[in-house]
Amino acid sequence: MPDSNRATSMMRLAVDYEAVDTAKAYQAYREAIKFASEKKLYYQLGRVYQNQSFLFNSAANYEQALASLDHAIENYKKSGHPKAKLWEANAYNDKANSLKAKNEFQQAIEYYLKSISVIEEHKLPGGLVGKYTNLSTVFGDINEDDKQTEYAHKAVTAAKNGGSRQDRFMAYFILANAYSKQDSNRSAKMALDSSKIHFAEEDNVDNIDILLSYHLVSAQVFKKLAQLDSALYFLQKAYDISKAYNYSYGKAESELQMGAITIMKKNYVAAEKYLLSGIKEAESVNYYGMLNDGYKYLSDVYAVTGRYKEAYEYFQKHKQVNDSVVNMESKKYGKELEKKYETAKKDAQLLVQHSEIERKSKLNYILITGAVMLLAISLLLHRNYRQKQKLQQQRINELETEKQLTAVEAVLKGEEQERTRLSKDLHDGLGGMLSGIKYSFQTMKGNLVMTSENAQVFERSMDMLDSSIKEMRRVAHNMMPEALVKFGLDIALQDFCQGINQSGALQVNYQSIGIDKVDIEQTTAITIYRIVQELINNTMKHASAKTAIIQLSAIDNGIGITVEDDGKGFNPAILERSGGMGWSNIRSRIEYLKGKVDVQSERGKGASVHIELNV
């Protein structure tokens, strides 16, 4: 077996021991580190150190976790392995997680941003969604609500533009968390619904952090909506997961939150039980923020139940913890000032040295500068010429595109005008004639004497005439929905979805965010309506889906459309060579509105179409 494979196998053995025997896990990591160090396997050594940090974190040994991650980063930098930079970025992210657990939020933010910088600088595949969600969470911890929501939206955008199903699940539930924290409960529930579409528990069986976060955020959303039984259900799931992995943070957080909810349900006996257990767990690992809340909740329980001595005792504990948190922040701030002072002093010494070097080098700079300036002038003249050529070609391309869009606009307007004319002709002309015939038949019926057999034939004919009138009205409505003309796009789409739900062909959940504040021209509204109509028709014809979501939202300088379903999925590459009229019409309408489209789908995992239009 090659040495690199052996080092990887030793690491995996340590990982397997983590859930059953931590002592053996520590020993296995030490042996893997010794072997990889002797063989100078820098990449594998970095992976061993990084995995070891998770074991330290689960035991709340954050200093050892940070030291282990520093070793991991150092070895990744030495390695020439093609994946070394990606794992270096992940190590910065893990270091930020450990700092966040220590309540060192500013440093955590710095390392999250450093992780993102490495990914962007080296154009590494994936990974941005997780980093954005982590940043959103830590900004929420320090109550910077705008930043929390900003990075949650960045995560959703990154997930839609090439992310996996798991990425879309994470991004949406972090967005739900951000909305819930700001008491935007309707938006939080909508984001949670979108998250649920992409959630697959089998993909997260061993990912305790994601499973725990999902259930805690779900509980928080339902708590804000006063759906307390649902909140307790998700908190119990969070506790069971944390208990299975002996994860102190999860056990403490879920039990304290269950205590808070049972207080709201006025079940003080259960509340006391949850809170005492949660406080004991939080005390064992010094989770001061949780203890602060737990002592306050328990003081409230004792006060309500008339045990004033215990109420006063826990209120005093709450005050002590609160004061200690403030003192810790003050000491931390003092150390930061001291560090900045020492850094400034060193910078001043370096400045004196640099000044001396600059004085000696100035003459060389003057000579070199002259040569560089001559070369720069030549390059600028050449660049200017090339830029003019490029601008001319760009202008030609813009004129050609504008000409094509004008042609598309004329076709679309002509098509809608013809639809409107046919709709009116059907409704006012043929509809009136059919209604007149029905009235004449009803008048004749009263003046004729018919046998029972002829009466049955007459009634069947009347039923067929009613069905023809209904079908004619349905065709006329599809050609130009009356609600779209009278009440606008939002109401028309609600009406469209309601009709599909009543038919039983598909269950459609329609959500709109901020559309009532956007002024949409009628031509544009008709075009958007046709795009959504065609996408849902494709879902009903091809996807074998049970449910779908339509989201219409106001975004910067335009409108965002997302249509998702839980159908059988497909390979998006086939759309590029598709000759069908449906997708061709959708693409033409998007180009007419100067928009862009992103399609995400896998076989057996549904489909998601995200469109951004400039209107």
DSSP 203: G
CB 60 within 8 A of CB 285: yes
How far separated are the first and last CA of the chain, in Å rounded?
A: 61
Query: What value does the CA radius of gyration of the chain take, rounded to a whole number of Å?
Result: 33
Q: How far, in Å, are 468, 532, 574, 578 from residue 587 at the CA level?
A: 34, 12, 14, 11
DSSP 609: E
- Using a 10 angstrom Cβ sphere, with 0-12 exposed, 13-18 middle and 19 or more buried, the burial of residue 409 is middle
Give the range among 310-319, 344-353, 498-507 with minimum mean pLDDT.
344-353
CB 606 within 8 A of CB 564: yes
What are the helix (H) ranges across 182-207? 185-198
In this predicted model, which residue has the larger pLDDT, 325 or 513?
Answer: 513
Q: Taking residues 421-446, report their average pLDDT.
A: 62
State the pLDDT at residue 26: 92
The two tokens of residue 50 are 């990084």
Q: Which CATH architecture fits 1-101?
A: Alpha Horseshoe (1.25)
State the pLDDT at residue 386: 73
Q: How far, in Å, are 486, 563, 570 from residue 599 at the CA level?
A: 32, 10, 10
CATH 3.30.565.10 fits 487-613, yes or no: yes
Give the range among 11-15, 339-343, 469-473, 542-546 with minimum mean pLDDT.
339-343
Percent of the chain at pLDDT exceeding 90 = 20
**Which of 138, 134, 141 has the alpha carbon at shortest distance from 155?**
134
**Which of 11, 26, 12 has the alpha carbon at shortest distance from 59?**
26
CB 170 within 8 A of CB 159: yes
Alpha carbons within 13 angstroms on the beta-carbon side of residue 610 total: 15
State the pLDDT at residue 289: 73
How many other CB atoms are found less than 10 A from the CB of residue 90? 22
Model pTM score: 0.49
Handedness of CA 415, 421, 422, 423 (dihedral sign): positive
In this predicted model, which residue has the larger pLDDT, 582 or 4?
Answer: 4
Hey, what CATH topology would domain 126-199 get?
1.25.40
* Model confidence band, residue 426 (pLDDT cutoffs 50, 70, 90): low
The two tokens of residue 139 are 């900004």
In this predicted model, which residue has the larger pLDDT, 146 or 368?
Answer: 146
State the pLDDT at residue 326: 46
State the pLDDT at residue 469: 67
pLDDT digits (tens, 9 = 90+) for 368-421: 666 666 666 667 766 776 776 677 677 656 655 555 555 555 555 656 566 555
H-helix or E-strand spanning residue 547? strand 547-555
Report the chain's mean pLDDT, rounded to a whole number.
80
CA distance 264 to 140: 24
CB 187 within 8 A of CB 179: yes
CB 98 within 8 A of CB 66: yes
pLDDT digits (tens, 9 = 90+) for 9-49: 999 998 888 878 889 989 999 999 999 999 999 999 999 99
State the pLDDT at residue 68: 94
State the pLDDT at residue 550: 94
Give the range among 117-126, 159-168, 412-421 with minimum mean pLDDT.
412-421
* Model confidence band, residue 213 (pLDDT cutoffs 50, 70, 90): confident
CA distance 22 to 517: 57
CB 142 within 8 A of CB 105: yes
pLDDT digits (tens, 9 = 90+) for 240-297: 888 888 888 888 888 999 999 999 989 999 989 999 998 888 888 777 778 888 888 8
pLDDT digits (tens, 9 = 90+) for 45-103: 999 999 999 889 888 888 999 999 999 999 999 999 999 999 999 999 999 989 988 88
**Which of 143, 120, 147, 119 has the alpha carbon at shortest distance from 133?**
147
Give the range among 83-97, 339-353, 529-543 with minimum mean pLDDT.
339-353
